Amino acid sequence: MESALTDQVQLDLLHHTRHAIAHLIELFPAEFGWERLIPADARTLPQVPEKLGQLYQEIEEYCSSLAVKFDHDWHWSLMWRQQLSLKTLADRYGKDYVIGACHPRIRKFVAQIYIEELDPFMQWFPWSWFSDMQFIGAGGFSAVYAATISPPYELESTRVALKVIDDKLLNEVVSLYFSLFVVGCCWLL
C-alpha cells in the first residue's frame, strides 16, 4: 500500500512539473528556440531568469509538501529535456506544425526523425545556447567544435562536442532512408 502511495506521489510530482515547464516554454518560446512555433509577447523576455528561478523554487517546495527529497537531475533537468523533446512538442502542437516551425534547411531531416520514431530521443537546442565554439576538425560533410551549452533552465554550463553537418549530408541521410525503405518494401513483397 505504501509503495502504491509513493508511486502516486511521484506521478503527481512529475505531472505537476511537466505542466509547469510546458507553461513556461509557452510564455517564453524564443528563449527555447521555438518562437516560430509558439507566438509570444516580446515584452516578457527580460522576465525569463526570474520566472525560471520562481519555477525552480516552486518545484522544490512542491516536492517538500509531498515529503519527496528534491533531486535536481530527476525533478528538474530531466523534466526540461522531456518537455523540449521533439515528441512532446509534436504531441502538443502537431508534427506538421513542428516541422514547419523548423528552419527550411532541416525540415526534411526533422520529418525523417518523426518517420523513424526517434522523436522521443531528440531535443531541440537553439544556437543561442552555444558559446565559446572552438574548431576541432572537419571532414566529409561536417565540422566538429568544442562548445559550451548554457540552457536557461540549467544552473551551470556544460562543455560539449558539437557536430555541424552540411546540407548535403542531411539530404543524403534522408535519401538513404528512402532508398532503404523502398528496397526493404520490395524485398518484403
Annotated binding residues for ATP, written as ranges, equal 163
Residues in the annotated binding site: 163
DSSP per residue, 82-120 = HHTBHHHHHHHH-HHHHHHHS-GGGHHHHHHHHHTT-GG
Q: Write out the H or E segment, with its range, that includes residue 162.
A: strand 158-165
Nearest to 52 by CA among 92, 33, 80, 71: 80
Question: Which bin fits 67, alpha (ψ -120 to 50), beta or left (φ > 0)?
Answer: left
Tell me the CA end-to-end span of the chain in Å, nearest whole number. Answer: 52
Side chain identity at 63, as an amino acid letter? C
The residue assigned the cell 557536430 is: 163
Q: How far apart are CA 120 and CA 83, in angstroms?
A: 10
